[in-house]
Amino acid sequence: MKYTTIIKKIAALSLSAVLAAGALTACSGSGSGTASEGNAGEKNNATFRTVDEIKESGKVIIGVFSDKAPFGYVDENGSYQGYDVYFAERIAKDLGVQVEYVSTDPASRVEYAAVEYAATGKVDIILANFTVTEERAEKVDFALPYMKVKLGVVSPDSAVVRSIDDLKDKTLIVVKGTTAETYFEKNEPDVKLQKYDEYADAYNALLQGRGDAFSTDNTEVLAWAIVNPGYTVGIDALGNADTIAPAVQKGNTSLLNWLNDEIKSLGKENFFHADYDATLASVYGAAANPDSLVVEGGVVD
């Protein structure tokens, strides 16, 4: 089934209904992975697992989105799919282990990487379309980037938001813990924000007219608008260009160094362009240039 068909079905079900069917708890990943919210991989008296310990265990635990198509989502068969998941599968393959997925929402990504593993063994790596920021880098260690992104704003065709001025006396939907929330709170404090914990809830709010526009990564709103007639990305490049990278728990140099070497090695085979072709090309079509989004070998042009 084509990816665009899948994402249309997700949109038609307003996403939340798909997630309510169990996507957040026991969904199978593509390939060998399984989803988990529990204690899989838990290790007493350890703050993180080294590469050798991951290999010995036979699995790597990776936090991904389950509701943010086309980067991380659960399809109609209960399998994880998307740009980040494609990368996660390759990481597991090159480590020689299986992958176990943990569903994460935007506000908890830092917590999972920096705190939760020490307490419950939840994740080794976060691959949740995770934008690198100075604040986050104080709590987690970022590997080399594999994507670059700016913010975008999507709104109904009947009242397209094309500038910050157009948001005057309007309500902008954002998701908690995202760079969109940070950007508007810091740079545009007069813009009224309506905040949600989950992407599914944020998109439903826009679809139901509970807000006038929605802001998140331009890569995502461009994809969403393509499969949701009646909506336009009036602002497609807002704020600074940021990078997206894997994150590990602070101090886990063993895994961090392995990831950096992996990203460099994958760059030599143009892996992330292949990832784009497999997971994003059918969504964006001519709306995006892959070279404007993809980072190979950790080197940002």
**In this structure, is residue 216 part of a structural domain?**
yes
**In this structure, is residue 161 part of a structural domain?**
yes
Looking at the fold, whether 142 and 46 belong to one and the same domain comes out as yes
**In this structure, is residue 13 part of a structural domain?**
no
Task: With a cut of 70, list the residues of the chain below it in pLDDT.
Answer: 1-46, 106, 109-121
Looking at the fold, whether 80 and 134 belong to one and the same domain comes out as yes
Report how far residue 91's alpha carbon sits from residue 252's, in angstroms, rounded to the nearest whole number. 16
- Residue 179's contacts (CB-CB under 8 Å, 6 or more residues apart) are 131, 133, 151, 217, 239, 242
Q: Please report the pLDDT score of residue 37 as a whole number.
A: 38
Domain carrying residue 178: 149-241
pLDDT in tens, 118-158: 334 578 999 988 889 888 888 889 999 999 999 999 999 99
Q: Please report the pLDDT score of residue 42 as a whole number.
A: 40
Is the model's pTM score more than 0.85?
Answer: no
Q: Which long-range contacts (CB under 8 A, 24 or more apart) does 251-255 make?
A: 251/47, 251/48, 251/141, 252/48, 252/49, 252/50, 252/141, 253/141, 254/50, 254/51, 254/52, 255/48, 255/49, 255/50, 255/51, 255/54, 255/124, 255/125
Q: Please report the pLDDT score of residue 121 as a whole number.
A: 54
Structure tokens at 229: 């007639």
Number of domains, the chain: 2
Q: Please report the pLDDT score of residue 68 as a whole number.
A: 84
**In this structure, is residue 4 part of a structural domain?**
no
Looking at the fold, whether 114 and 75 belong to one and the same domain comes out as yes
Looking at the fold, whether 202 and 281 belong to one and the same domain comes out as no
Cα separations (Å) of 273 from 65, 178, 266, 300?
21, 25, 10, 14
Q: Please report the pLDDT score of residue 3 as a whole number.
A: 40
Looking at the fold, whether 253 and 136 belong to one and the same domain comes out as yes
Q: Please report the pLDDT score of residue 69 as a whole number.
A: 85
- Residue 21's contacts (CB-CB under 8 Å, 6 or more residues apart) are none
Of 241, 259, 282, at which residue does a domain stop? Answer: 241
**In this structure, is residue 25 part of a structural domain?**
no
Looking at the fold, whether 60 and 108 belong to one and the same domain comes out as yes
**In this structure, is residue 17 part of a structural domain?**
no
Contact 202, 267 (CB under 8 A): no
Looking at the fold, whether 274 and 228 belong to one and the same domain comes out as no
Residue showing tokens 């954002």: 174
Looking at the fold, whether 141 and 252 belong to one and the same domain comes out as yes
Q: Please report the pLDDT score of residue 14 as a whole number.
A: 36
Report how far residue 59's alpha carbon sits from residue 68's, in angstroms, rounded to the nearest whole number. 24
pLDDT in tens, 272-282: 999 999 999 98
Of 226, 241, 256, at which residue does a domain stop? Answer: 241
**In this structure, is residue 160 part of a structural domain?**
yes
CB atoms inside a 10 Å sphere around CB 56: 10
**In this structure, is residue 112 part of a structural domain?**
yes
